[in-house]
Structure 1
Amino acid sequence: MSTNPFGVQNPEHVDAAYIAQNFVEMQTDFPRLTEHGNTFVHGARGTGKSMLLRSLEPRVMILQEKAAKLKDLPFVAIHVPLRTADFGAPEFNRYKGYAVNAIGEHLLAMHIVLRMAQLLDNFSSDISASSSRAFRDRFETLFKIAGGSVVQNSASASADEVSAFRRVADVCERDIFEVRQYLVRQPFKNANPDYQGALTGFLDFLVPLAREVKELDGLPRVPLFVMLDDADNLPIPLQRVLNSWVSTRSTSDICLKVTTQLAYATMRTLDNRIIESPHDYTEVNLTAVYTASLDTYSRRLEKIITKRLLNAGIEATVDEFFPLDTSQEARLKAIAAEIREEHGEKNLSSEDQVGPARVRDEARRYTVPRFMREISGSSRSAHTFSYAGFRSLVDLSSGVVRWFLEPASRMYDRVISERVEPLDKVSEIPVSIQDGIIRDWSGEFLEPLTRQTTEIADAQTDLSEGIASLHADGHETVLYEQLRNLIEGLGRLFRGKLLDPKAREQRVFSVVLRDQATPELERVLNLGVRLGYLQRSDNAAKEALGGRRPRYILARRLGPHYKLDISGHAAHLSIMSKDLELAMRNPADFVKVRLKQDASSDSQFSLDLEGDRFEYSGN
């Protein structure tokens, strides 16, 4: 049985060899992540944040031959996943004020030191015994000062029989367990007993230990990179703790590399100060990078897939492995030729000549819409639009690497399951299988929004931070329903524009909000961005009076479901908040009103062609 080269693995659960073998470094802002400073990395789920962090781990960098041994590395990085099970548990919501801040900070610090000790234990052969013991002694001294107790785990084992780093890890694991038990058991007690455990912090515990790491004889004298993955899983009080760490600017000893899934709720510290870029940290938004630089993303994805095919022993190019529908391509070329010929005839009969650049632009913009109108007529039962082909799959993935790998993995499995005779390798994915998987995969994306939320969190998020938490908003069911309506309205509107031969702009995939969104609309849009149904770009074209406005782009993964043209560049519509609020309530009315409005002489359109901007304004 051949191994599926597109299998999606949880980055936390794969080993360093897998990361080294499959990771492709193509992010335009990758060097910023390796600088000695604090960095926030934002991106939707599946954009590769965890793989990016794990690629900085010592073992991965050595396997990639970026250093011969640990001592030669430019930095030492530890990966610390922030799981909801560890920090988003309900027991944290029962504590307010100083208690949750102090105990939560301690718990976060112990998770970091646990990972630190485990990493050092893996490289213990490179570190002398005396140096290891010095680190252990420093840890125990600081831990006892913080109120902790160092207990030997085994009565039969002496301290010398246990690795110094393993002993530190054991103490951390035991302490984490005891803290969690204290938090969980409080509701069952008649009175709340005083917390008797350790209370470690950043400047008095983590920073001194990071300095001790620099003193280890087998390690470079460089800052420790602490890579905190998915920080929006932290409750808001712990996000404030983390921000307070960032504000100390202790980057000569510890550099914090923090990833979020676009839902980090606050940039305020415990004393209510706001941390600011670039003084306290730098910022990278992978989703914005991919949205604004599709060519960069396409090249990166081509390298990733090429590498995976080669690792699987498949010598085909990406275009050979994911072939196009040749009959559809032939018809599209014929339609493009017809459009160019029509312009040629117009040039002969009119003094208003259209240059070759404009002709090429017209062919690019109207070829697919004309073809889709053609197959939506009487012949629609005989042919549906094909989204097969590597370039189409790149567009469908909407800048999310996982959104390429998931359908590709299903396609590969389908080929394996349907072949009559066993083959050594799969040489290509047939067009019919590509299209079948794509249609199912696109429609499945909307299913979570159609399910009614069955449980509402009892605790309310502190909405004064300005961002509503997905998991703690008491109106979660309503938000899902409103987002589903909004997506449905946009999808049907864009389909209506595509089928309208009189529309100036037929290929539309985004809207630019021309006025300030209401709090209700803002929550729904934020939820859409968080869940990946929308992408937000702040680089929208300037309106005549409104300045720069946010642009919301429908995920191209939804293109096959709504039968849209997902290829290349597309127009965006200028729209008002009241229009989107209507879509949230009644998608059908929104589509009817907007199509009628756009058909009038007062309609306005704006086309953004990745750097070439055209403004259209009807009279």
Structure 2
Amino acid sequence: MSTNPFGVQNPEHVDAEYIARNFVEVWTDFPRLKEHSNTFVHGARGTGKSMLLRSLEPRVMIIKQEASQLKELPFLAVHVPLRTADFGAPEFDRYKGYTANAIGEHLLVMHIVLRVAQLLSNFNTEISETSTLAFRDRFEVLFKIAGGTIAQEMATSNFEGTSPFDYVAAICERDIFEVRQYLVRQPFRTTEPDYPGALAGFLDLLVPLAREIKKMEGLPNVPLFVMLDDADNLPIPLQRVLNSWVSTRSTGDICLKVTTQLAYATMRTLDNRIIESPHDYSEVNLTAVYTSALDTYSGRLREIIAKRLINAGIEGTVDDFFPVDLEQEKRLKAISAEIIKEHAKANAESDAQVGATRVRDETRRYAVPRLMREIAGSSKSSHTFSYSGFRSLVDLSSGVVRWFLEPASRMYDQVISQSAEGKGKVTVIPVPVQDAVIREWSAEFLEPLTRHSSEISDTQKDLSEGIESLHADGHETVLYEKLGNLIEGLGRLFRGKLLDENAREQRVFSVILRDRPKPELERVLNLGVRLGYLQRSDYAAKEALGGRRPRFILARRLGPHYKLDISGYAAHLSVMSNDLELAMRSPSDFVKTRLKQDGSAAKQFTLDLDGGGHDN
């Protein structure tokens, strides 16, 4: 059975060969990540942040021939995933102030040193024995100065036959377990004993150890890139610790590359200073790239898919592999010809001539909406609008690479399952298969909002007790319910505009907020951005010099569910906070009010959604 070329794997669990074989530099800002500086990389889940970081690892860079050997690398990068299980566990919430900061920083340092030691162990044969022993000795000295003790069973004699790097990794791993046990057992004690372990920090252990690495024979004399993946999984006190590291500007020895899923809560340090760009760090927002450089994203995604097809031994172009609906394309060309003919007739009957550029623009803006109205008006027609074709799949992915790979993977599996005994090579994804998967994949995107709105989690209970937790905020039931209503209102409103043949702007996919939102609305909007239902960009207001308004774009993945035109640029609607607050309470009232305000016909109020949305 052939291997699915679009399979989505956890970047943390794949080897360097897989990364080198499949990674394509999608983002134009990628070179900035290689600079000797601190960098924050923001992006929704699935935008490829982990793959981006792992592509900088030394083994990957050598395989890709960016360096022929370890000593020629421009930096030494180590990937450190920050899992919720490691840093978002409930026991951290019991400690506040200096205790949380000191123990938390120590744990973070130990996790980093563990990963560094594991990385160096993989290159043990390329590093001189003198250097490896010096690294081990330097770590022991720094660890003991920080208050750490090395248990008798961890003596070096027990690690004969293994590298000194493995010895250091074992000490770090044991220390992490001991600290976690101390935190977990505190609620069971009648008195709180003094914390007996080490309190290693950034400047007194991590930076000196990085300097030691720069001196090692076989390694380049370059900064250590510490790539902290998903830093918004850190509790807020530890985010402040990380910001304090950034503020030290120790980039000659350590450069921090930090990724977030758009939920990093603070840019303040432990002493309440704000770290600032560009002095302390540079910043890249991967999610914003889609709205500002669609052609660039499309081109790079084409490279990614073409590379995967070649690796799978599949010949032909990506457009051949993901064909469009030819009958639909034929009808769209006919509609475009009708629009051109209408303008030619209008020009002949009027002195006001419409130029060729405007005619071309209007064919792009109105051809698909006109076809969709035809389909909507044919109550007995079994035809539905097709979202097939590579370009359509690119639009649906909304700038999230994984949102292309996931449905493509399902399509591939479905074609395989339909073939005789699941054998043979897939050379094309038929249009019916594309459309069936796309419709299902679009609709299921809303399921988490419904599921979370019917659950009460422990983190929600914590909120009622006044515990500050970003993660609790993200899982609060009422926020999911209101976000679900807001998305439903926007989707149905945009469909209503599409069905209005008299509307000047029929292809609408975003709203611009004209005033400052209240805290509740702001939390709902931020949740929508974090979860990928909305994308945020700034819009320069024409009526105010230098003024900028937030623009919220509905994820195009929802387009098939609400039967919207997802192709190319779409217009926006101006709204006020009270409009969106109404949508959060009652999507139907929001849609009716807005369509009536915009002069849309009453028939637009009832939208033809299969199993359509409902008000909660």
TM-score of the pair, normalised by structure 2: 0.95
Where 2:429 maps in the other structure, the secondary structure is: coil
For residues 79 and 326 of structure 2, the distance between their equivalents in structure 1, rounded to whole angstroms, comes to 46
For residues 440 and 151 of structure 2, the distance between their equivalents in structure 1, rounded to whole angstroms, comes to 55
Change (3 A) 1:100 1:380: farther
Deviation of 1:379 after TM superposition, in Å, equals: 5.0
Corresponding residue of 1:364: 364
Mapped contact 1:414–1:433 kept (Cα < 8 A): yes
For residues 283 and 162 of structure 1, the distance between their equivalents in structure 2, rounded to whole angstroms, comes to 40
Residue 513 in 1 paired to residue 513 in 2?
yes
Mapped contact 1:103–1:199 kept (Cα < 8 A): yes
Where 2:414 maps in the other structure, the secondary structure is: helix
Corresponding residue of 1:265: 265
Corresponding residue of 2:354: 354
For residues 156 and 540 of structure 1, the distance between their equivalents in structure 2, rounded to whole angstroms, comes to 63
For residues 143 and 347 of structure 1, the distance between their equivalents in structure 2, rounded to whole angstroms, comes to 82
Corresponding residue of 1:377: 377
Deviation of 1:459 after TM superposition, in Å, equals: 3.5
Deviation of 1:496 after TM superposition, in Å, equals: 0.3
Corresponding residue of 1:8: 8
The AA in structure 2 aligned to 1:455 is S
Deviation of 1:377 after TM superposition, in Å, equals: 1.2
Where 1:471 maps in the other structure, the secondary structure is: helix
Deviates further, 244-253 or 378-387: 378-387
Corresponding residue of 2:456: 454
Where 1:12 maps in the other structure, the secondary structure is: helix
Mapped contact 1:456–1:474 kept (Cα < 8 A): no
Mapped contact 2:514–2:575 kept (Cα < 8 A): yes
Deviation of 1:156 after TM superposition, in Å, equals: 9.7
How many residues are treated as equivalent by the alignment? Answer: 598
Corresponding residue of 2:494: 494
Corresponding residue of 1:402: 402
Deviation of 1:453 after TM superposition, in Å, equals: 2.5
Corresponding residue of 1:390: 390
Change (3 A) 1:59 1:474: closer
Change (3 A) 1:339 1:474: closer
For residues 548 and 349 of structure 1, the distance between their equivalents in structure 2, rounded to whole angstroms, comes to 42
Where 1:550 maps in the other structure, the secondary structure is: strand
For residues 9 and 241 of structure 2, the distance between their equivalents in structure 1, rounded to whole angstroms, comes to 31
For residues 88 and 461 of structure 1, the distance between their equivalents in structure 2, rounded to whole angstroms, comes to 18
For residues 420 and 337 of structure 1, the distance between their equivalents in structure 2, rounded to whole angstroms, comes to 43
The AA in structure 1 aligned to 2:354 is V
Change (3 A) 1:133 1:248: same
- 1:528-555 deviation line (CA, Å, top 9, x unaligned): 0000000001145534589210100000
- Any residues of structure 2 matched to 1:174-193 within 5 Å, and which? 174-193=174-193
For residues 488 and 83 of structure 1, the distance between their equivalents in structure 2, rounded to whole angstroms, comes to 32
Corresponding residue of 2:213: 213
The AA in structure 2 aligned to 1:119 is L
Corresponding residue of 1:29: 29
Change (3 A) 1:554 1:156: closer
For residues 209 and 549 of structure 2, the distance between their equivalents in structure 1, rounded to whole angstroms, comes to 46
For residues 485 and 19 of structure 1, the distance between their equivalents in structure 2, rounded to whole angstroms, comes to 39
For residues 464 and 63 of structure 2, the distance between their equivalents in structure 1, rounded to whole angstroms, comes to 44
Deviation of 1:209 after TM superposition, in Å, equals: 0.1
Choose between structure 1 and 2: higher helix proportion.
Answer: 2
Where 1:80 maps in the other structure, the secondary structure is: strand
Deviation of 1:290 after TM superposition, in Å, equals: 1.9
Residue 328 in 1 paired to residue 328 in 2?
yes
Question: Where do 5+ consecutive residues of structure 1 fail to align?
Answer: 602-619
The AA in structure 1 aligned to 2:210 is A
For residues 137 and 475 of structure 1, the distance between their equivalents in structure 2, rounded to whole angstroms, comes to 46
- Any residues of structure 2 matched to 1:421-436 within 5 Å, and which? 423-436=423-436
Corresponding residue of 1:38: 38
For residues 107 and 147 of structure 1, the distance between their equivalents in structure 2, rounded to whole angstroms, comes to 14
CA-based RMSD of the aligned residues comes to 1.8
The AA in structure 2 aligned to 1:98 is Y
- 1:240-279 deviation line (CA, Å, top 9, x unaligned): 0000000000000000000000000000000000000000
The AA in structure 2 aligned to 1:310 is I
For residues 443 and 470 of structure 2, the distance between their equivalents in structure 1, rounded to whole angstroms, comes to 23
Mapped contact 1:461–1:472 kept (Cα < 8 A): no
Deviates further, 493-502 or 414-423: 414-423
The AA in structure 2 aligned to 1:117 is A
Percentage of matched positions with identical amino acids: 77
Corresponding residue of 1:81: 81
Residue 597 in 1 paired to residue 602 in 2?
no
Deviation of 1:288 after TM superposition, in Å, equals: 0.7
Residue 315 in 1 paired to residue 315 in 2?
yes
- 1:29-56 deviation line (CA, Å, top 9, x unaligned): 1111000000000000000000000000
Where 1:78 maps in the other structure, the secondary structure is: strand
- 1:559-596 deviation line (CA, Å, top 9, x unaligned): 00000000011000011111000000000000000001
- Any residues of structure 2 matched to 1:120-131 within 5 Å, and which? 120-131=120-131
Mapped contact 2:235–2:470 kept (Cα < 8 A): no
Where 2:226 maps in the other structure, the secondary structure is: strand
Where 1:227 maps in the other structure, the secondary structure is: strand
For residues 271 and 401 of structure 2, the distance between their equivalents in structure 1, rounded to whole angstroms, comes to 39
Question: Where do 5+ consecutive residues of structure 2 fail to align?
Answer: 602-616
For residues 298 and 73 of structure 1, the distance between their equivalents in structure 2, rounded to whole angstroms, comes to 30
- 1:179-219 deviation line (CA, Å, top 9, x unaligned): 00000111111111110000000111000000000011010
The AA in structure 2 aligned to 1:337 is A
For residues 302 and 22 of structure 1, the distance between their equivalents in structure 2, rounded to whole angstroms, comes to 12
TM-score of the pair, normalised by structure 1: 0.94
For residues 465 and 77 of structure 2, the distance between their equivalents in structure 1, rounded to whole angstroms, comes to 33
Corresponding residue of 2:562: 562
Corresponding residue of 1:63: 63
Deviation of 1:175 after TM superposition, in Å, equals: 0.2
Deviation of 1:280 after TM superposition, in Å, equals: 0.3
- Any residues of structure 2 matched to 1:66-145 within 5 Å, and which? 66-145=66-145
The AA in structure 1 aligned to 2:471 is H
Where 2:420 maps in the other structure, the secondary structure is: coil
Mapped contact 1:229–1:260 kept (Cα < 8 A): yes
Change (3 A) 1:280 1:340: same
Mapped contact 1:529–1:536 kept (Cα < 8 A): yes
Where 1:564 maps in the other structure, the secondary structure is: coil
For residues 565 and 4 of structure 1, the distance between their equivalents in structure 2, rounded to whole angstroms, comes to 30
Change (3 A) 1:132 1:156: closer
Change (3 A) 1:555 1:543: farther
Corresponding residue of 2:547: 547
Change (3 A) 1:82 1:332: same
The AA in structure 2 aligned to 1:28 is T
Deviation of 1:378 after TM superposition, in Å, equals: 2.3
Mapped contact 2:387–2:393 kept (Cα < 8 A): yes
